[in-house]
Structure 1
Amino acid sequence: MKILQYILIVFLMLFSPKEILAQKDSIALQREARKLLRQGNDLYNKKKFTDASVAYQKSLANNTKYDKASYNLGNAFYENNNFKEAVPQYELTAETAKDKFTKAEAYHNIGNAMMEQKQYQPAVDAYKNSLRNNPNDDETRYNLAVAQSLLEKENQDNKDDRNKDNKDNKDKDQKDKDDKKDGDDKDKNKDKKDEKNEKDKDGKGDDEKDKNKDPKKDEKKEQEKPKPQKGKMSPEQVKQLLESLNNEEKKTQKKMNAQKAKGEKVKQEKDW
């Protein structure tokens, strides 16, 4: 009797009216989610991708863990070229899917969406994850090879660009150095020239004057200089000077006559 009472109490606790109502609501939401999923699929097949994405989003609002609705929403975004928005939906499916084939398809589509955005490294990673879940998928293997080739080319182009930038920077630095050197040389030459001109101003002017000086012209100028004039004598002084000269002349004449007489020999007759 006590055992039956215990079982009854447990049954009532497990299946209380609130729990029963919650289960009913959950079942109703799941049904509504499946209904909206089917509507979305019909619109998708009619290529009405925008309307289909709206239906899938409503389906997920009723059941957030509805993997099919997430995956199909990603496909609708992809077909509308909304590749960036498609990736999170595929990632959600890849995380929650229970079978490997569904995971492989989700990762494959992630790779395709990344390729459309020219994000080659994430695309390579996604294709590899897809092959880990389904190694026999030749389409994924082909896409992986294409992504790896484009990634290698991108890396090479980036390397070439970096090398070109480094070369341009080196050439620019060298040009700046050369320009600076030329500027310094010009400044030095200018300083030397200014110094030379300054010296020429100080010394060359006088030297140039001396060099260009005409000796004949200087001689002529020297000749043209006024000579000292003799002092003028009065008539009395002239008379005294003439008398003095006459007296001197008489004395000189007398002296010469005396010497002449003294020097003359006397002629003698021979005594035979």
Structure 2
Amino acid sequence: MISRILIIITLTMSAAFGFSQSEKSRIRDGNNQYEEGNFQEAEKQYRKALMENPGYLKSTFNLGDAMYKQENYEESANLFNEVVERNASKEEKSASYYNIGNTLMKEEKYEESIEEFKNSLRISPENNNAKYNLEYARKKLKEQQKQQENQDQNQDQDKNEDQDQKNDNNKDNKDKDKQDKKDKQDPKNNEDQNNGDKENEQEKQPQKISKQDAQRMLEALKNDEKKTLQKLQKQKARAIKGKKSDIDW
């Protein structure tokens, strides 16, 4: 609905101003091209008209319309401001303020556009299109401010989380530095720890014996076995002798 209103009001004002003078051919050709939607061709005709008569406000105003249609909002606003600052009629000034407000809305500069619609209404309080666009700009400004507020809150939250993480990292580094410093100041702990590690390593390693020790251990086992065998033989001999004595009796 907004777009349709902007097109109708702008087109009507352009055509009206174009034919209000002596109908110069440049302005007439530009208006015809504008009505057919050939905005670049209309721009060319309006610029030629300004070259012939730089002080002709109707050409400046209509050129501002053509630039608006080509989405060149910055130049469009500059042209309408030129109309306002020069010796324009109340109708031309009110229409220029209104169109400046429209260019600012296209650039999402809602707070500035509100002021321009107010300027238009101060001159022409009956301009319903300016009233409607004023309320629309106020609504969009509230939405924009709310969105900015949410973004600021999210940024603050992210900033706080980053700071908390940084503080945690700093604390961990300080604790580590403190422990390292303590270890350096008390070398006995490091020595005890190193000795303990060496003892543990020695416990884990299997003990080794020499070949001579192994041979002696083997001979000792053989001697023990020999003595045990002799002892058993003596016991067996005594047992046999005892049985024979029983038989002789």
TM interval, shorter chain, is 0.5 to 0.7
**Closer, same or farther in 2 for the Cα pair 1:187/1:43, shift >3 Å?**
same
Is residue 62 of structure 1 aligned with residue 18 of structure 2? Answer: no
Amino acid at match of 2:75: E
User: What residue number does 1:168 align with?
Assistant: 158
Amino acid at match of 2:33: L
Identity of aligned residues (%): 29
User: What residue number does 2:5 align with?
Assistant: none
RMSD: 2.9
Aligned length: 179
Q: Distance in 2 between matches of 1:139 and 1:185?
A: 69
Moved more, 197-206 or 51-60: 197-206
Is residue 37 of structure 1 aligned with residue 27 of structure 2? Answer: yes
Q: Distance in 1 between matches of 2:193 and 2:86?
A: 100
Q: Is there any run of 5+ residues in structure 1 with no aligned partner, and where?
A: 1-29, 210-272
**Closer, same or farther in 2 for the Cα pair 1:204/1:83, shift >3 Å?**
closer
Residue 53 of structure 1: CA displacement? Answer: 0.5
Q: Distance in 2 between matches of 1:111 and 1:79?
A: 15
Q: Distance in 2 between matches of 1:204 and 1:95?
A: 90
User: What residue number does 1:84 align with?
Assistant: 74
Larger radius of gyration: 1
Residue 67 of structure 1: CA displacement? Answer: 1.1
User: What residue number does 2:4 align with?
Assistant: none
Instruction: For residue 173 of structure 2, give the secondary structure of its aligned residue in structure 1.
Output: helix
Q: Distance in 2 between matches of 1:203 and 1:133?
A: 92
Q: Distance in 1 between matches of 2:29 and 2:193?
A: 108
- Of the two structures, which has the highest relative contact order with CA contacts closer than 8 Å and spacing of 6 or more? 2
Deviations 1:50-85 (A, max 9, x none): 011011011111111111111111111111222222
**Closer, same or farther in 2 for the Cα pair 1:139/1:203, shift >3 Å?**
closer
Is residue 74 of structure 1 aligned with residue 64 of structure 2? Answer: yes
Q: Could you tell me which of 68, 73, 94 is aligned with 2:84?
A: 94
**Closer, same or farther in 2 for the Cα pair 1:198/1:46, shift >3 Å?**
same
Retained in 2: the 8 A contact 1:77–1:85?
Answer: yes
Amino acid at match of 1:76: A
Retained in 2: the 8 A contact 1:41–1:52?
Answer: yes
Q: Could you tell me which of 92, 116, 129 is aligned with 1:126?
A: 116
- Give the TM-score normalised by the residue count of structure 2: 0.63
Q: Is there any run of 5+ residues in structure 2 with no aligned partner, and where?
A: 1-20, 200-249
User: What residue number does 1:143 align with?
Assistant: 133
Q: Distance in 1 between matches of 2:109 and 2:190?
A: 74
Deviations 1:230-254 (A, max 9, x none): xxxxxxxxxxxxxxxxxxxxxxxxx
- Give the TM-score normalised by the residue count of structure 1: 0.58
Q: Distance in 1 between matches of 2:91 and 2:28?
A: 22
Residue 147 of structure 1: CA displacement? Answer: 0.8
